[in-house]
Structure 1
Amino acid sequence: MTMTSCFQKVLISNRNIFVVNLAIADLVVAIYPYPLVLTSVFRNGWNLGYFHCQISGFLMGLSVIGSIFNITGIAINRYCYICHSLKYDKLYSDKNSLCYVILIWILTFVAIVPNLFVGSLQYDPRIYSCTFAQSVSSTYTIAVVFFHFMLPIAIVTFCYLRIWILVIQVRRRVKPDNKPKLKPHDFRNFVTMFVVFVLFAVCWAPLNFIGLAVAVNPDTIIPRIPEWLFVASYYMAYFNSCLNAIIYGLLNQNFRREYKRIIVTICTAKVFVQESSNDAAEKMKSKPSPLVTNNNQVKVDSV
């Protein structure tokens, strides 16, 4: 099977490719930044140098912006699939879906790169990590809050409101019969991603509002923000990366089924390997010794 055919099979379910990208965005912080944060906690300070600080902060920002952009992409995808289902196959063909995913990551990189020039990626001893410093540039902080949080949240809210209106119409049977019907599994998938969006907005809202307040009037607001409030809002925001898998497991039956199938397959494979090894050992033990023939007979001459 060629690489192209494998990739085409993955793209057959183009609705799920955005969910996969959301999972990748959540995993980015677990690969590099979080281990460095733990090291900083154990050493009670950052001792890994400027380069690792910049890379850690960059990847954290990449994860955050990638998550919100992918959540926005999922909301637009669900909106097109449910509210404009007749045009969906054309809008989200395999080629178009791949282009959308590439565009999301390009926009994510473009959104993070200015941090390297502004100098806003700094170590914060309150949270033991290198992250975006809200007080470095008021203009940039306002732009970050607006373009990376408020605008995506507004787009996602519009999409889900339109979907909820359609759901209510279908439930009350006021929608014309010539329009596509909302299937039960489509509704369940929509509810799952809606909960993911709500949790993301709730978890990230406090930190973004603090950043917006600091950007508007840093000299007055910064001394008035309690340290515990900033720390709680920060860890609340990054804890959101752990919640998505829990939501999928609780609300998505297919996710639970596939997860169970993977676990069973892994366990079965281990048992099969062990049994094969034991069988091979038993066969070696029970294997009869070779027959003595004239060719291999050992002759003992008397002295």
Structure 2
Amino acid sequence: MNNSLLLINTTTIKTYEADVSDVTTNIIVQIIFYIFYGIIFVIGIFGNGLVCYVVIKNPHMQTVTNSFITNLAISDILLCILAVPFTPLYTFIGRWIFGKLMCSLVPYIQGVSIYISTFTLTSIAIDRFFVICHPFRPRIKIKNCLLIIGSIWIASIILTFPYGIYMNIQELYYCEENWPSQKLRKIFGSFTSILQFVLPFFSIAICYICVFVKLNNRSKYKPGFKSSKKEEIDKERTKKTNRMLIAMVTIFGCCWLPINTINIIDDFFADVSYIWKHYRLCFFISHCLAMSSTCYNPLLYAWLNDNFRMEFKKVLPCFDSVTFNLTTKTTTTTCESKKNYNKNDSKHGNIIFSHIAEKSMIQESIQLDLRTTSTTPFQLEFKNINQDILEKRKVTNCIVSKTFKNSFK
């Protein structure tokens, strides 16, 4: 077993050299896998590198949620560099050619990266749970967020440390685990799978289920003054958010369940690679799925965020048309629903926003990271809505923005 979940075991490598019936010995199959790994490497490095660049370059993007997303991007970059190329090369070549130091270092950093990734995803889920389900609870400050991130790194380094110790070069050509006993190996393997997958998966699922229920309950609130168009927009936004929540849980499970299952089987049934001739094929398919998470994470946690998209299009203008079309559609509908208000309606601005503020906070908090300040939650949400309308959507004649500004005079 490889407790980093990413290096195939030595027994499998040895049987691989002699087993010509295994489809992964076919050069065409190997080329296909190399292509998949190449695509994952390029997209993973590019997408996560872009996330890091945007956050580091723009101080206004350095918020609590974005700090977690950046930490996730860094761990994904490490996976792309140390897991995507080494695993297929080691298996297809049939021997470890990267030296003794790399034999200990590569699997160790792989394990650390996975811990960082799963712990960070869990932290993001917990943070969103409190923002949406407990909107009046003060958010953690950026300083505390950085302490949490530091703790994640320290815990990941410590938890993976035994694996770095027991990975050594065996029989000159094979990089494998050399545990004092098989019992200790099984215990550590099970412990690793629980901490790297089982607990994070259930924590993420529970948090997002609570968010899902909260959003659905809020969508049932129908104030009498709300227009049908506004109501339809809110319902559609809730559905979109719910789909995104389901996608987050589903993708995490689909990406990491197969590789964990393969390695647990390998831990407790050491001869599986001899008995099951398609073991290596299943390993590489599950490994590709696990590595593909480095491509999905920037999409789910950054691209679907309006603020990130705005910064992305500044770096890469090709993003501009997609973002413009999306925001224009939303802005036009919002303004049209309010265009029948006259000037006398401005006095009702505070009442309108007082009724919709809590629901707006809950729905927008998935995509907007609210800074922790001394202001009240409602004032904080008002500022975010104002900035969203005036700066991002460029609405100049919309009565909503006028009413909003008047409410703070």
TM range (shorter): 0.5 to 0.7
1:212 aligns with 2:260: no
Q: Which moved more, 1:25-34 or 1:101-110?
A: 25-34
DSSP-derived class of the 1:85 partner: coil
CA distance in 2, matches of 1:147, 1:83: 26
Where do residues 212-251 of structure 1 align in structure 2 (5 Å cutoff)?
Answer: 212-219=264-271, 223-224=275-276, 226-247=279-300, 251=304
Q: Which has the greater radius of gyration?
A: 1
Where do residues 64-143 of structure 1 align in structure 2 (5 Å cutoff)?
Answer: 64-89=114-139, 92-119=140-167, 137-143=185-191
Where do residues 40-51 of structure 1 align in structure 2 (5 Å cutoff)?
Answer: 40=90, 45-51=95-101
C-alpha contact (below 8 Å) 2:169/2:176 kept by paired residues: yes
* Matched pairs, number: 245
1:15 aligns with 2:68: no
Deviation at 1:236, TM superposition (A): 1.8
Deviations 1:161-193 (A, max 9, x none): 11011011011229xxxxxxx999899778656
CA distance in 2, matches of 1:132, 1:253: 45
C-alpha contact (below 8 Å) 1:56/1:130 kept by paired residues: no
CA distance in 2, matches of 1:132, 1:81: 43
CA distance in 1, matches of 2:275, 2:246: 36
Structure 1 residues 214 and 38: alpha-carbon distance in aligned structure 2, compared to 1, 3 A threshold = closer
CA distance in 2, matches of 1:194, 1:48: 41
Q: Which residue of 1 is the match for residue 313 of structure 2?
A: 260
DSSP-derived class of the 1:87 partner: coil
**Structure 2: gaps (5+ residues):** 1-55, 223-233, 319-409
CA distance in 2, matches of 1:184, 1:130: 52
Match of 2:220 among 172, 179, 193: 172
CA distance in 2, matches of 1:45, 1:53: 11
Deviations 1:252-277 (A, max 9, x none): 34333211101349xxxxxxxxxxxx
Using the size of structure 2 for normalisation, the TM-score is 0.51
Using the size of structure 1 for normalisation, the TM-score is 0.67
Deviations 1:79-120 (A, max 9, x none): 11111121133xx1122111111111111112211212344x
C-alpha contact (below 8 Å) 1:192/1:252 kept by paired residues: no
Q: Which residue of 2 is the match for residue 145 of structure 1?
A: 193
CA distance in 2, matches of 1:20, 1:209: 29
C-alpha contact (below 8 Å) 1:138/1:216 kept by paired residues: yes
1:203 aligns with 2:244: no
DSSP-derived class of the 2:65 partner: coil
User: Relative contact order: is structure 1 or structure 2 higher (C-alpha 8 Å, sep ≥ 6)?
Assistant: 2
**Structure 1: gaps (5+ residues):** 1-5, 124-128, 175-181, 266-303
Deviation at 1:194, TM superposition (A): 5.5
Q: Which moved more, 1:131-140 or 1:196-205?
A: 131-140
Structure 1 residues 132 and 264: alpha-carbon distance in aligned structure 2, compared to 1, 3 A threshold = farther
Query: What code does the residue aligned with 2:279 have?
Result: P
Deviation at 1:147, TM superposition (A): 1.6
C-alpha contact (below 8 Å) 1:248/1:255 kept by paired residues: no
CA distance in 1, matches of 2:270, 2:311: 49
CA distance in 1, matches of 2:125, 2:138: 14
1:62 aligns with 2:112: yes
C-alpha contact (below 8 Å) 1:66/1:108 kept by paired residues: yes
> What is the RMSD of the two structures over their aligned residues, measured on CA atoms?
3.8
Structure 1 residues 81 and 188: alpha-carbon distance in aligned structure 2, compared to 1, 3 A threshold = farther
Deviations 1:32-68 (A, max 9, x none): 5545557657966421211112211112112211110
DSSP-derived class of the 1:113 partner: helix
Identity of aligned residues (%): 24
CA distance in 2, matches of 1:70, 1:117: 25
